[in-house]
Amino acid sequence: MGSLRGLQYALSFHSRSSPSTIYPTTDAHPERESQDTHLLADLQRLHEFGNYLSAGWLQKALEMCLSMHREVQQIFPQIRQAVQRQNSKWMDETLDDTVKLLDVCNALREYMRDIKQYQEKLHLVIHMLNGPIGPWQLGRARIALGSLCELPAKATEPPQNKSRLENCSSVLRRMGGKLAAPCAGGELVEPIHAAMDLTVFVCDLLLVALSFRSRRSLPLPCSGHSTWGGALQALQLKVKEEVDKRRNKGIVCVLLDELFAVESASQSVNDLLKRFLNSKSVPLKEAQDLELRQSVVCLKNCVAELEDGMAFIESQINELFEVIIGGRMALLDALTYS
């Protein structure tokens, strides 16, 4: 598995037209068709990239979400009048959806901190086994790593109450069902609808891919209601197929490629430690020492891959939080002066 460094710019999304020419205040179907064509091309790139449960793919999907939200803010002066003409129900629902997405971003940021702590504990184990390996190092590393290896197994037990991540997933699924309907706000506010729709899908996938404890698959994709809606539906279906395929293979705990690699590598080191200690093979023979050190190097490399991916995803989630706030403020401003 190659390094994830630099993957954040591996997929170059298209250059957008000038905001002043995309969405005039009167209906302009050719421009809307052009926008749909661009959005369709972006979704197709995500579709063709594959590796839907890798950090690299999630980075690209998040970058597309950010691009769409930023574009909405750029064209907002041109669609302000269309926003102001919407009925109060549309405005209330859209503002409510932004609050829900902000809550999801906060839940994801909290979970990213949990993953950081998991990585830090693995670094401690790696440090213990980097120098001379004696009985003390083996015993301490076995205790520390054993508790970490038990995390995924324990996490699969159904909790008494839904976790915050699971609650957020349920909220996103309800939002996705509602957004599947044709945009109630009309054609000129369709970019807002599109940005929300894609964000719901990507955030739901993040909740499934990053969680040790989630047994839930992605929901069936909703019917597409436009050119880009059909492309998003096809992408959702492919991602769902991949998730379900891994579920059927028994990979219940960990779906993200990099997280699964770390879990597998840590389990391999833990198995060696357990075997050596149970057989009282201390001090280790030369072949045993080499086998253990090779496993530790593999774990170290997997942790580095995970850290590279998570660092950029965390940064993107923070950016998404800020850009959603910006969009919400623009809507509130339009409501105030309507």
SS (H, E, C) 131-155: CCCCHHHHHHHHHHHHHHHHHHHHH
- Among left, alpha and beta (phi > 0; psi -120 to 50; other), residue 50 is left
Round the average pLDDT of the chain to a whole number and report it. Answer: 79
Q: Which of 133-137, 146-150, 164-168 has the highest mean pLDDT?
A: 133-137
Which tokens in the block code for residue 117?
């702590």
| DSSP letter assigned to residue 87 | -
What are the helix (H) ranges across the chain? 19-22, 29-49, 55-84, 88-128, 135-155, 164-179, 190-210, 227-248, 257-278, 286-336
Find all residues with CB under 8 Å of 311, minimum gap 6, and list them.
Answer: none
Q: What is the mean pLDDT of residues 222-249?
A: 78
SS (H, E, C) 191-229: HHHHHHHHHHHHHHHHHHHHCCCCCCCCCCCCCCCCHHH
Provide the percentage of residues in the chain whose pLDDT is more than 70: 76
Token pair belonging to 164: 């915050």
Rg (CA), the chain: 23
How far apart CA 119 and CA 114 sit, in angstroms, is: 9
Among candidate residues 115, 9, 20, the one with its CA nearest the CA of residue 56: 9
Residue 248's pLDDT band, with cuts at 50, 70 and 90, is confident
Mean pLDDT of 246-266: 82
Q: Mean of the pLDDT values across residues 208-223?
A: 69
> Which range, 112-126, 179-193, 200-214, has the best average confidence (pLDDT)?
112-126
Mean pLDDT across 259-273: 92
Q: Does the structure show a pLDDT above 90 at 100?
A: yes
For the segment 231-256, the average pLDDT, to the nearest whole number, is 80
**Nearest residue to 265 (alpha-carbon basis) of 305, 309, 308, 295:** 295
Give me the amino acid identity at 307: E
Look up the pTM and report it: 0.82
pLDDT higher for 18 or 224?
Answer: 224
Identify the band that residue 138 occupies on the pLDDT scale cut at 50, 70 and 90.
confident
pLDDT at 335: 81
Joined together, the tokens standing for residue 74 give 């750029």
pLDDT digits (tens, 9 = 90+) for 175-200: 887 776 666 666 777 888 888 988 99
Residues 45, 49, 54, 56, CA torsion sign: negative
pLDDT class of 15 with cuts at 50, 70, 90: very low
